[in-house]
Structure 1
Amino acid sequence: MSQTSDQMELREEDVVKHYAAALRMLDGFDHAPRIADARENPVAEKSSGVGTRRRFRSTTPGLVTKRTARTEGVQLIARVESADQGDGLCSPVQASVLQGLRRALAIALAVAEQYGDRTGLADLKRANLEGSLPSGKKAEFSEMLSAEALISLYVFGSATAFLLASHATEDTVEVGEVEEVLTDNGQLALHGVLWELDQDIGSFATSESKLVATVLAFAESLMAKVAARASTAPRLEPFTAASWRVEAEGFTVDGFSPAHAAKSSKLTMTFKKPNEVVGNHIAKYQAMKLAKMIMAYDFERKLNPFAELGGFIFTFMGDGKPGTGKTTLIQMMAGLINDYCQVAGYPFRYQNLSTDNIDSYQGKSGQNAKAFINNIIDPNVIGFGTIDDIDQLAGKRGDRQSSAGQLEITAVLMESFAGANTVVRGNCTFGMFSNYPENVDDALRQRAGARFLVDGPITRDDYIDILYLLMGKNHDIPVGNHEVFSAQEIKKAVTASFESHARPHEEGLERVFDRVNKDIGKLDTIAKLGTYLKGIQEADERFTGRAIKNITDAVKVRAMDFELPDEWMENPDLFLFKDYDTKKAMIDDMRQPITVEMVIQEINRYADSEFRYADKSDEVAIETMIRDFGRQEEAKRRYLEGKG
């Protein structure tokens, strides 16, 4: 990939000349910890997510004093080579980690050198060594050294994460906050974090996969800590205003923004084929369409024609009763995208945000959610993020049962899905799934641009098909008078499903629909449709402008009511590898005109879901109040009996 015009090349010779210094750091140096506590006998991690480091420490100015600390010998090469339970030889994975660390250190030193040359820090260093530094320059010199330290640390963390990304496995490690962040100068700063990395490897790297996970977790934690510190530090403008590229790896340095390697997830889930999803016709159809829509993403333009034309689903919510097929739908959609990406050679990244990401430590749950979002929206990959059982994961504001961690996740998801800085490129989509969507925060639920009602098998044919499917082949029971899977013919089933929404399904919405039709007649103009929307809002005050936007987005998706041909996915040259403008023109030619029937159906589909959620939410609230009243009466009875 060629470098962009605003990037400067970090020449290979400028990096390689720092190899010797980087290797000396890995080979061994002495460091007396000034902030973090040394662990006398680092022990293996006992359970996932339980670290041994103190999570919080005082940051009150003036309370951190110089302490007498034992000098610690840091030998990272030896430490890494011991991460395989005593094998005498260095393994390929260990060698890759050490090579990655050396390369990352060399890149960090090279960028710090560039900063020194651009700002005059190099001249001040020489003057300081010669004892000729003017007294009026001492404050400036100190600030520049601190800036150099922050730059060195961030570039080291970013380069380490980038270079070792391809070695990541499903193993994860929680290393906690990086504490030994020193800003006296670049070299001391690197010594401090390497000392702490040595401690973490000794504590957590009980296997090769844990070794890689530990180093990657440390790099991510280091970047977060340094970026926060840099937000208020002076003298960084020459660094943040510039951009460098290391051509050999395609690694970029762009201020305090992490560089992401275009790596795929290693998926272990069982994929499902569309014919193995019985019922759920609209949800299945839209999931299949969306899987192909994502593949139209243009990696050069960093944009999807569907996103520009207005037919892309960035967020959706799938709801239904337990056992109706939400997990199967996820497996089907992930499998389709995975297969398409393998054919095209695109990196695909799938991740699920689960209840494991709720942490008792303040701010950590939000960090986990933000890391999940950043991992999926990475413009260098095709991404699919799911949030299963979102009613358990994201807290409902105002609900006393919601924990602080759940509310942190809610805030991150709301800001990420429809915040001021949200950019929809069309390379990824997020699916929220729940058996109890009425328990999801109203504002978060309305950030789902599309609604997939996952209602499972409905008709007699559906139940015959699912029985046939799940019975397998180890029997000779005749099928009988039934054509297997004919009812699952997607176009036929979807057309019937959409047409069924010509009238509302929910009783409360039906009353609004009939009243408006009686008052103003057939809904065949924009004005009459707007009157219907106002009537819905009067019946449910939560039906706001965001609901109208979601409905119009869904209508635009219906205008794209076509599936990209299978052969376009099987032969990338026919579509996927075309330039952006050609792909956009090909899609535009297939668009259909928007009709009144489409608009009415999408209004009813969306409003039905809101009325369904409201009815469930009200019923749950009523049942809760009944239980509370019963407890109060029983408590009063026991109290009076006790007094008597």
Structure 2
Amino acid sequence: MSQTSDQMELREAEITAHYPIALALLQGFDHAPRIGKGAAVATAEKSSGIGTRRRFRTTTPGLVTRRTTPAGAVQVMATIEGADADDALMSPVQATVLNVLRRSISIALAVAENYASVSGLGDLKRANLEGALPAARKTEFAELLAAEALITLYVFANATSYLLSSHQSEVTVEVGEVEEVLTDNGQTALHGALWELDQDIATHAPDDAHLVAAVTAYAEALMEKVALRAANAPRLAPFTTASWRVEADDFTVQGFSPAHKAKSTTLTMTFKKPHEVVGNHIAKYQALRLSKMLMAYDFERRLNPFAELGGFIFTFMGDGKPGTGKTTLIQMMAGLLNDYCQVAGYPFRYQNLSTDNIDSYQGKSGQNAKAFINNVLDPAAIGFGTIDDIDQLAGKRGDRQSSAGQLEITAVLMESFAGANTVVRGNCTFGMFSNYPENVDDALRQRAGARFLVDGPQTRDDYIDILYLLMGKNHDIPVGAHEVFSAQEIKQAVSASFASHSRPHEAGLLDVFDRVQSDIGDLDTIAKLGAYLKAIQEADERFTGRAIKNITDAVKVRAMDFELPDEWMENPELFLFKDYDAKAAMIGELRVPITTEMVVQEINRYADSEFRYADKSDEVAIDQMVRDFGRQEEAKKRYLEGKG
């Protein structure tokens, strides 16, 4: 086995050597289920353990040549061949599924063989066969066999899901929880898995689309079940600390982490051009820059120069009143990324986490949120994940109105956005959007590294532009004395917007700012800026160290206060296709110096948002208490009137 960077190559000869065993397993074997409940399923007549050909189907009406197959007879090949009872020939999809299963079993057996060699399990197996296994090592032997079983099952399921991903359709199948997970050894484990897969195919696969969906659903459910078991299982270090590369399939085994095909999302949304986002100058500017930042990601190094140099926005919060343009901003950014990726030939993945992902089953909401995160994080694609109306989706801890599902989503998002295992590669970004950010859990909201105030049209020119835009062209009304969209010129508008934050906007923060300036003068040193931050913390105890980190990150973004040239996006050879070091050097040349004005503006911008949220949150709480007191008084009045 040769070493290639941090991965080991799983040679093709090692895989194909297991083809005969894999084929025999698919053709037939006996299995008496221990945990799963076998269903008597009407299938083509089988003879247990004997490979069968596709049988002749009679065309005589009313003549049925089918029987109930015993639960212990497992013939996955025959079950797949008989999935479409109206066709006497095997379909291309059925052949593909069988080939995928054979290859996945073979890959799993090859990885398990490597594990046995590295962990010492192979030596113990030989000693056991010879009757020379020391009694003192029997526990170790049993633990290694259980580890081998878990590894075999996970790699089999992972490879199956991966290799079938390009054949999936819109059809989905719910196979339920996997039950027959056996950990005696790798061979027994595969028997249990294939027995249950055989049951699911017979139950859920009347045609090709459902066949692929059923096999994929089972593989994903098996991965999930095995990964949970593996979390507390011993002897797995030789597997979890190594990785194996199957070059022919572009497939990598990395512990109990699922592999994903780098495929793009098919987007059906209506994209918006930047000039169609009226107002929202800073939010629009940051979204434009972030879109181009993402495109600097280096797929070979799996890192973005912006993430290393500083200034990359991994998470952001977009807040504003209803109807101010949050959806339009999402449509603009998704459209830009989609277009850039099409030019470069990169896979682009957009996904939205919505209230549909809240489930009444315990743990399911968290699983949905984790699947959303993992799909966007996939380092083999450019990702953009949005969480619209996050105040409704993620529960606020301590709020009795928050459901268990909402709290599960909150926990997953907090751990994913700034947890101990969070790795920011720079290939994706997450946007949280809300009309009522004050209702978002404080700790979750502070995990948003940047704030996009989506305040909609503000000026007279903005309102003329949005009216012109929404009226369309099916009219003869003259525009009048106005140059359409000139007010939406990004550079001029953004410069004015940033300058406006030289002084705070919120009354509470403005009092703090004026008091500090009157005491120590202009905020032109690190010490004075630190004193201002401490004064803000004394006024709002929620202004913690995480807030300071978010502010310094925003300042670093300002140091990258430039847009990558449009021609770099239009002609990939100029930038996108260059190596990582060349990209980093080109970006470094464009950086601008950090000034005290930038720092003051970013402190005010961030603190303004926190004061705005706190004021709204307090007012909402007070209004709620007033309504509660009013209801209590009215109830008491009616109660006394009733008694009288």
What TM-score do the two structures reach when normalised by structure 1?
0.90
1:110 equivalent in structure 2? 110
1:336 pairs with 2:340: no
CA contact (8 A) 1:32 1:70 kept: no
Q: Distance in 1 between matches of 2:437 and 2:264?
A: 31
The secondary structure found in structure 2 opposite 1:317 is strand
CA distance in 2, matches of 1:210, 1:467: 49
The one-letter amino acid of 2:598's match is: M
| Counterpart residue type for residue 497 of structure 1 | S
Q: Which amino acid aligns with 1:606?
A: Y
The corresponding residue for 2:13 is 13
Going from structure 1 to structure 2, the CA distance change for 1:265 and 1:4 (only over 3 Å counts) comes to farther
Secondary structure of the residue aligned to 2:249 is coil
Aligned-partner residue type, residue 228 of structure 1: L
Q: Kindly tell me: are residues 168 and 284 of structure 1, through their superposed partners in 2, closer, same or farther at Cα, counting changes over 3 Å?
A: farther
Q: 1:39, 1:638 → 2: CA distance? A: 61
How far is the alpha carbon of 1:486 from its aligned partner?
1.1
Deviations 1:362-394 (A, max 9, x none): 222222212221222222221111111111111
C-alpha separation between the residues in 2 aligned to 1:171 and 1:495? 49
What SS does structure 1 have at the residue aligned with 2:4?
coil
- Match for residue 244 of structure 1? 244
| 2:192 counterpart residue number | 192
Identify if the C-alpha distance between structure 1 residues 551 and 86 changes in structure 2 by more than 3 Å, giving closer, same or farther: farther
Shift of the alpha carbon at 1:126? 5.6
Match of 2:60 in 1: none
Which residue is equivalent to 2:50?
Answer: none
Equivalent-residue separation in structure 1 for 2:364 and 2:438 (angstroms): 26
Alpha-carbon offset, residue 235 of structure 1: 3.6
- Number of the residue aligned with 1:639: 639
Aligned to 1:225: 225
Deviation, structure 1 residue 70: 5.9
Aligned partners of 1:274 and 1:284 also within 8 Å: yes
Alignment partners' CA distance in 2, 1:168 and 1:605: 46
The verdict on how the C-alpha distance between 1:591 and 1:139 changes in structure 2, with shifts beyond 3 A counting, is: closer
CA-to-aligned-CA distance 1:104-151 (integer Å, 9 cap, x gap): 111112222333444554565566567676666654443333222111
**Letter of the 2:319 counterpart:** D
**For 1:33-77, what per-residue CA distance to the aligned partner results, in whole angstroms no more than 9, with x for missing partners?**
2112234569xxxxxxxxxxxxxxxxxxxxxxxxxx963433434
Moved more, 315-324 or 475-484: 475-484
Give the Å deviation of 1:24: 2.9
Would the aligned equivalents of 1:30 and 1:71 in 2 still touch at CA under 8 Å? no
- Tell me, yes or no, if structure 1 residue 281 matches structure 2 residue 281: yes
For 1:434 and 1:3, the matched residues in 2 are separated by 48
8 A contact 1:312–1:557 mirrored in 2: yes
The whole-number CA distance in structure 1 between the counterparts of 2:140 and 2:362 is 36
**Per-residue deviation, residues 322-359 of structure 1 (Å, max 9, x unmatched):** 12111111111111111111211222221111112222
Residue in structure 2 matched with residue 454 of structure 1 by the alignment: 454
What letter is aligned with 1:491? K
How far the C-alpha of 1:520 sits from its partner, in A, is 2.5
CA distance in 2, matches of 1:638, 1:204: 59
| 1:563 Cα deviation from its structure 2 partner | 0.4
Superposed CA deviations along residues 20-42 of structure 1, whole A, max 9, x for unmatched, are: 32233333333332112234569
Residues 57-72 of structure 1: pairs in structure 2 closer than 5 A: 71-72=71-72
Q: Deviations over 1:171-191 (max 9, x none)?
A: 554433321101122222112
Name the residue aligned to 1:477: 477
Tell me by how many angstroms 1:457 deviates: 1.7
The answer as to 2:590 corresponding to 1:590 is yes
Q: How does 1:18-33 map to 2 (within 5 A)?
A: 18-33=18-33
Give 1:587's aligned amino acid. Answer: I
- Pairs within 5 Å for 1:85-484: 86=86, 88-119=88-119, 121-122=121-122, 125=125, 138-169=138-169, 171-205=171-205, 208-484=208-484
Residues 113/458 of structure 1: CA separation in 2 closer, same or farther (3 Å cut): same
Distance verdict in 2 for CA 1:92–1:340, change over 3 Å: farther
Distance 1:114 1:531, change over 3 A: closer
Q: Displacement, 1:292?
A: 0.4
SS at match of 1:248: helix
1:397 alignment partner, SS class:
coil
1:128, 1:596 → 2: CA distance? 73
How far apart are residue 196 of structure 1 and its match?
2.0
**Conserved 8 A contact 2:38-2:71:** no
**How far apart, CA to CA, are the structure 2 residues paired with 1:120 and 1:529?**
60
* 2:531 aligned partner, one-letter code: T
Contact 2:316–2:449 at 8 Å: present in 1 too? yes
Give the 3 Å change call, closer, same or farther, for CA 394–85 of structure 1 in structure 2: farther
Query: C-alpha separation between the residues in 2 aligned to 1:256 and 1:373?
Result: 16
Mind listing any 5+ residue stretches in structure 2 that lack a counterpart?
43-68
Q: Distance in 1 between matches of 2:577 and 2:238?
A: 38
Contiguous gaps of at least 5 residues in structure 1: 43-68
Whole-angstrom distance in 1 between the partners of 2:411 and 2:179 = 27
Indicate the SS of the match to 1:431. strand
Residue 59 of structure 1: aligned partner = none
Aligned CA distance change for structure 1 residues 627 and 92 (closer, same or farther; 3 Å): farther
How far residue 565 of structure 1 moved from its aligned partner, in angstroms, is: 0.3
Q: Structure 1's 575 and 506: CA in aligned 2 closer, same or farther, altered over 3 A? A: same
Tell me by how many angstroms 1:206 deviates: 6.0
SS in 2 for 1:164: helix
SS of 1:214 mapped into structure 2: helix
| Corresponding position of 1:529 | 529
SS in structure 2 opposite 1:562? coil
- SS of equivalent residue, structure 2 residue 473: coil
> Structure 1 pair 210/618, CA: closer, same or farther in 2 (3 Å)?
farther
Matches within 5 A, 1:524-603: 524-603=524-603
Under a length normalisation based on structure 2, what TM-score does the superposition of the two structures give? 0.90
Structure 2 counterpart of 1:489, one-letter code: E
Equivalent AA in structure 2 for residue 229 of structure 1? R
Q: Secondary structure at the match of 2:351?
A: strand
**Deviation for aligned residue 1:91:** 4.1
Q: Residue by residue, what CA displacement relative to the aligned partner does 1:175-221 show, whole Å, maximum 9, x if unpaired?
A: 33321101122222112122222333444446644443433332222
**2: CA distance between counterparts of 1:462 and 1:606?**
25
Q: 1:611 to 1:235 in 2, by over 3 A?
A: closer
- 1:640–1:189 distance in 2 versus 1, CA, 3 Å: same
Contact in 1 for aligned 2:504/2:605 (Cα 8 Å): yes
Amino acid of the structure 1 residue aligned with 2:244: W
Contact 2:281 2:493 in 1 (8 A): yes
Mark the CA change 1:327 to 1:84 in structure 2 (over 3 Å): closer, same or farther.
Answer: farther
User: Which string of whole-angstrom CA distances, capped at 9 and with x for unpartnered residues, describes residues 64-106 of structure 1?
Assistant: xxxxx96343343444456668555544444333322221111
Judge conservation of contact 2:318–2:432 (CA < 8 Å) in 1. Answer: yes
Cα distance in 2 between the residues matched to 1:85 and 1:626? 67
> How big is the shift at 1:287?
0.4
The answer to whether the 8 Å contact 1:353/1:369 transfers is: yes
Task: Give me the whole-angstrom Cα distance separating, in 2, the residues matched to 1:135 and 1:442.
Answer: 57
Structure 2 CA distance for partners of 1:81 and 1:466, relative to 1, 3 Å: farther
- 1:73 match: 73
Structure 1 residues 245 and 356, CA, compared in 2 at 3 Å: closer, same or farther? same
Residues in 1 aligned to 2:275 and 2:332: alpha-carbon distance in whole angstroms: 9
Q: Which amino acid aligns with 1:619?
A: E
Contact 2:240 2:255 in 1 (8 A): yes
Letter in 2 for 1:330: I
Give the Cα separation in 2 of the matches to 1:79 and 1:624: 61
- Greater CA drift, 304-313 or 255-264: 255-264
Take 1:380 and 1:272, find their aligned partners in 2: how far apart are those partners? Answer: 26
1:606, 1:599 → 2: CA distance? Answer: 11
CA contact (8 A) 1:343 1:570 kept: yes
1:608 alignment partner AA: D
Query: Cα–Cα, structure 1 residues 135 and 272, in superposed 2: closer, same or farther, change >3 Å?
Result: same
Q: CA deviation at 1:482?
A: 1.6
Report if the CA contact (8 A) 2:551-2:606 is conserved: yes
